[in-house]
Structure 1
Amino acid sequence: MGSEWDEPLTPAGRLFMQAEMKQIIHCVVGLKNPIQVEIVKDEMRKSMLLQHPRFRSLMVHDHRGVEHWRPVQIDIDRHLVIITEGVSEVNKYLSDLSIEGNGGLSMDKPLWEIHLLMEQRCLIFRIHHSLGDGISLMSMLLASCRKLNHPLELPSLHLHTNTSTTIRRFNLWNLLVTMWFTVLFAVDFVLRCFWFRDHKTPITGGAGVELWPRKIATATFSLQHMKTVKNAVSNATINDVLFAIISSGISRYLDSRAPNGLRDGLQLTGLAMVNLREQPGLQELSNLMKSNSGAKWGNKFGMILLPVYYHRSNSPNQLEYLKRAKAMIDKKKKSLEAPFSYKVGAIVMSTVGPKFASFLNYRILCHTSFTISNVVGPQEEIMIGGNPITFLRANNSALPHALTLNMVSYAGRADMQVQVAKDIIPDPDFLAKCFEDALLEMKEQVAAKI
């Protein structure tokens, strides 16, 4: 029997409950000082996390089998996993948690945990994707933090323009351009779901790869270096630089793994998650929790296809990668591809049901080469429970892709988690270095021209 207090899952929440699409988000917080367990518990008791109804609810099924949230009493000790020894590396621990079956969340309690890696001075927030997306969850985490130099102030949440919310002056020409690119990319999206797939390369995943063992490495970038490269091309953005890095880094990696074996200009397609809130970027949590807010809590994102192209990495001009990335992303900004994917997904969920929607999402994952997400964090140093935070990182549980890239920026640097299926990409540390070297070469070329 249901309860009058039960809240139905959103369509996106139901999607992430399907077997093929179960996803857990890992938000990783490095700390400067040793972890004090009692302080962590005190911070949890007064945090916004325990005030949000979804974090105080079980996922249950009604008599028709439809999922609902049902409020329960929270036992904090059941949500803390304290690891005192046996962990040599944070990324090794994360890679084990990312495999289906190894690190699932128990369904007899609300779908989140906090792992305390005592020796590594690291907190890992593990949250089921049905509770919310990366923007929602990062906003909730930051609501429990304070500025390091101003301990009474919340972190500043800088807005970050995304590819779906660029404001353009309305006129007939812009409308026609928007319609053209929307139709073009929508058709490409549909064809990807059913027929088209990327050419097979040494980084290609596929059906069942989400069950394979994982490895994770971290590529670290200076935001100042990214801004220096960005300024070398008129009207370029940090996202343009990121995709230039990915394109160049993957080309470098493929040169070493398939020398002379791939056609120059070969397309490899990334699947990117785009925040669709009216106010882009991280949000004040009070706005996210208002039901009538344009920000709105939950999963509010669309997907877009972002092609990168393999080019032999002995090219003398690395900035060509940035010019190509900017040209591609500029076209995406002129379309409504992300809202289209979101609306079509919602329609499919409400008319055909979550199983077919899950099938379509799984197909498009199998037909593309990698996943990419990018969350812009606070640019000043912050602390949680009085303990300074040294880094913020994020990744999600395994997908059919053999390569998943999740980037979070914080305090002047950006950390990109490079998650791989290790039987396909056995050397993620080398791949991470390919990405880092790509940015450094671009920065050096810019410096040489000054």
Structure 2
Amino acid sequence: MEQQTENDEPLTPAGRLFLQPEMDQVINCVMGLKNPIDISAIKSEIGTSILTRHPRFTSLLVRDRRGVEHWRKTQIDLDRHVIVVDSAVPDDVGGDDEDAVNDYLADLAVSSPLSTDKPLWEIHLVMAQNCIVFRIHHSLGDGISLMSMLLSCCRRADDADALPCMNGTKSRERNGTERRRWSWRVWEFVKVVWFTVVFVVGLMGRCLWVKDKKTAVSGGAGVELWPRKMATARFSLDDMKVVKKAIPDATINDVLFGVISSGLSRYLDIRSGKALQEGLQITGLAMVNLRKQPGLQDMENLMKGNWKVRWGNQFGMLLLPVYYYRGGSDPLQYLKRAKVMIDQKKHSLEAPFSYKMGDLVMSYLGPKAATLLNYRVVCNTTFTISNVLGPPEEITAVGNPVTYLRASLSSLPHAITMHMLSYAGRADMQIMVAKDIIPDPKVLAKCFEDALLELKEAATATTKSIGGN
């Protein structure tokens, strides 16, 4: 035992945060398959994959006498990690496969924590719905790390020997002559300082007392324990690219937040009528990857057995406000407002600051203080949003074509959480809600889908108008 204790590895501060009861988070990623699941083939693939060799996935969570968490190496028993489920719903319950899987994930989000007597991951094989649910505790890594791990077990559909890839974000080219370069840099520095101060003060305010006004989609302390429902909003990346081209220098993330702003406004019109004041701020909370390398690089190095690559939870927190407006004559206004907001965030160090502050608070004041601050930020905002890039091409799992990839998290004090994952030209957004607050998540999903179509129609009309002139 003494030798084992010496070899134990302490958790990172972010990993410890995700193990606190108020912030306990499990990532649930579902992979739909075209053909029936071959249980023995899946187990064989898992047994030879990185999943059963990576230090984080082959370690138990243990606590020392002071209550500090550590990782301790152990042996993997696949039969305890691979769970075969005949169907996502009982035989006497109707509904289609998508509803069944979403209901299954919604139940997992509040009622099925991972056992600490084995490494903190499970794989559920849902036979009737032909899907695999990967349940991985957030303390093992963030979305980028875990997507890399997941894709390392898959292959491209057009090349059975090739690994899938994850699109990295291309840096924007900066225009300007050499004569303007120094003045441009000075102006950029001034903007970074200004927006960092403004947004950091705003983040600290959310930790203390500042909160969104109450609406039909607001959560609060204790809501993480309420029953959940889930729906899926489906988007075409081609449609999002059409919208993106309507506004100079816009990005897919700009379009996403334009869609969220428009979709939430539509839904609040349905639920609240004209009771809300135009311009009402609805604040989202997003986690931003702080790695210099994209997830693909992590995956390639892991395949080579290099365990010292960047891994774990390396992300910062961003407050992303959107605003309620009733439908007007120009739907692209939602995109324009979203772009201004996101451009300002890009000029700030809010995300790195939040990561460093969380690290310091956890290290010097302990997990209770860090959890309290993070929990208050969640309670004082309205929704969670994440956007992870999946493989741009179709992939297979053990030779079985993958039809969709979707992701979600355990429940939070927010009444609405949204997690978008792209795959092969499509993007599915899992919308999980507290069903006693938002009883109709399918209506909300339809509001988002209609918002994108309306933005696409407006963007197409704008492009034709410009071309005609």
Identify the residue that residue 371 of structure 1 maps to in structure 2: 384
What is the DSSP-based 3-state SS (H/G/I as helix, E as strand, rest coil) of the residue aligned with 2:452?
helix
What is the DSSP-based 3-state SS (H/G/I as helix, E as strand, rest coil) of the residue aligned with 1:273?
strand
Q: What is the Cα deviation at residue 252 of structure 1?
A: 0.1
What is the DSSP-based 3-state SS (H/G/I as helix, E as strand, rest coil) of the residue aligned with 2:351?
helix
TM-score, with length taken from structure 1: 0.96
Q: What is the Cα deviation at residue 291 of structure 1?
A: 6.0
Q: What is the Cα deviation at residue 185 of structure 1?
A: 0.3
| Residue 96 (structure 1) aligned to one of 89, 95, 107 | 107
Q: Number of matched residues?
A: 442
TM-score, with length taken from structure 2: 0.92
- Residue identity in the other structure for 2:281: Q
Identify the residue that residue 18 of structure 1 maps to in structure 2: 20
Matched, 1:302 2:280: no
Within 5 Å, which residues of 2 pair with 1:27-66? 27-66=29-68
Greater Cα shift, 299-308 or 284-293: 284-293
What is the DSSP-based 3-state SS (H/G/I as helix, E as strand, rest coil) of the residue aligned with 1:109?
coil
Q: Name which one, 1 or 2, has greater alpha-carbon Rg.
A: 2
What is the DSSP-based 3-state SS (H/G/I as helix, E as strand, rest coil) of the residue aligned with 1:98?
helix
| Residue 452 (structure 2) aligned to one of 418, 439, 445 | 439
Change (3 A) 1:46 1:431: same
Q: What is the Cα deviation at residue 160 of structure 1?
A: 2.1
| Residue 146 (structure 1) aligned to one of 149, 155, 159 | 155
For 1:262 and 1:74, the matched residues in 2 are separated by 54
Gaps of 5+ in 1: none
Gaps of 5+ in 2: 90-94, 175-180, 465-469
Is the Cα–Cα contact under 8 Å of residues 160 and 376 in structure 1 kept in the other structure? Answer: no
Is the Cα–Cα contact under 8 Å of residues 232 and 431 in structure 2 kept in the other structure? Answer: yes
Is the Cα–Cα contact under 8 Å of residues 282 and 376 in structure 1 kept in the other structure? Answer: no
Q: Percent identity?
A: 62
Is the Cα–Cα contact under 8 Å of residues 80 and 113 in structure 1 kept in the other structure? Answer: yes
Is the Cα–Cα contact under 8 Å of residues 146 and 155 in structure 1 kept in the other structure? Answer: yes
Matched, 1:188 2:202: yes
Query: Could you list the per-position Cα deviations for residues 350-372 of structure 1 after superposition, in whole angstroms to 9, with x for gaps in the alignment?
Result: 11011100000000000000000
Within 5 Å, which residues of 2 pair with 1:343-362? 343-362=356-375
Within 5 Å, which residues of 2 pair with 1:76-87? 76-85=78-87, 87=89
Query: Could you list the per-position Cα deviations for residues 69-125 of structure 1 after superposition, in whole angstroms to 9, with x for gaps in the alignment?
Result: 1111111000011111362610000000001xx111111100000011101000000
For 1:281 and 1:326, the matched residues in 2 are separated by 25
Identify the residue that residue 398 of structure 2 maps to in structure 1: 385
For 2:400 and 2:87, the matched residues in 1 are separated by 21
For 1:154 and 1:108, the matched residues in 2 are separated by 33
What is the DSSP-based 3-state SS (H/G/I as helix, E as strand, rest coil) of the residue aligned with 2:28?
strand
Query: Could you list the per-position Cα deviations for residues 334-360 of structure 1 after superposition, in whole angstroms to 9, with x for gaps in the alignment?
Result: 001100000000010111011100000
Query: Could you list the per-position Cα deviations for residues 362-420 of structure 1 after superposition, in whole angstroms to 9, with x for gaps in the alignment?
Result: 00000000000000011100001111100000000000000000000000000000000
Is the Cα–Cα contact under 8 Å of residues 7 and 68 in structure 1 kept in the other structure? Answer: yes
Query: Could you list the per-position Cα deviations for residues 169-195 of structure 1 after superposition, in whole angstroms to 9, with x for gaps in the alignment?
Result: 772221111111101100000011101
For 1:291 and 1:193, the matched residues in 2 are separated by 36
Query: Could you list the per-position Cα deviations for residues 114-165 of structure 1 after superposition, in whole angstroms to 9, with x for gaps in the alignment?
Result: 011101000000001000011000000001111101110011222025xxx8
For 2:278 and 2:369, the matched residues in 1 are separated by 37
Identify the residue that residue 266 of structure 1 maps to in structure 2: 280
| Residue 335 (structure 1) aligned to one of 337, 343, 348 | 348
Identify the residue that residue 124 of structure 1 maps to in structure 2: 133
Aligned CA RMSD, in angstroms, stands at 1.5
- Residue identity in the other structure for 2:248: S
- Residue identity in the other structure for 2:159: H
Question: Structure 1 segments of 4 or more deviating over 3 A?
Answer: 165-170, 280-284, 286-293
For 2:22 and 2:421, the matched residues in 1 are separated by 26
Q: Please identify which structure carries the higher helix content.
A: 2
Greater Cα shift, 78-87 or 231-240: 78-87
Change (3 A) 1:192 1:282: farther
Change (3 A) 1:86 1:265: closer
Greater Cα shift, 29-38 or 438-447: 438-447
| Residue 222 (structure 2) aligned to one of 208, 213, 236 | 208
Identify the residue that residue 106 of structure 1 maps to in structure 2: 115
For 1:201 and 1:235, the matched residues in 2 are separated by 33
For 2:258 and 2:56, the matched residues in 1 are separated by 38
